[in-house]
Amino acid sequence: MENVLDILRSGIDCALMGLGHASVHDLGPDDVVIPPGFTRPLGVPAARTG
């Protein structure tokens, strides 16, 4: 389990470095990329596929 947490921490550290931040506390809304169609307002049912 400790190895899994080390890998997760390393991935977070690399992502923060790539974004130019030292801490998750430095992240803001501009750091989040949400592709079109990904979000769904509350109360709206999921679209059916197929």
| Structure confidence at residue 50 as a pLDDT band (50, 70, 90) | low
Q: Output the six-digit token pair for 7.
A: 């890998």
pLDDT in tens, 1-38: 889 999 999 999 999 999 999 999 999 999 989 999 88
Q: Is the pTM of this model over 0.85?
A: no
Q: Tell whether the model's pLDDT for residue 44 goes beyond 90.
A: no
CB atoms within 10 A of CB 16: 16
What pLDDT does 5 receive?
A: 94
Instruction: Mark 17-35 as b/e (b = at least 16 C-beta within 10 Å).
Output: eeeeeeeeeeeeeeeeeee
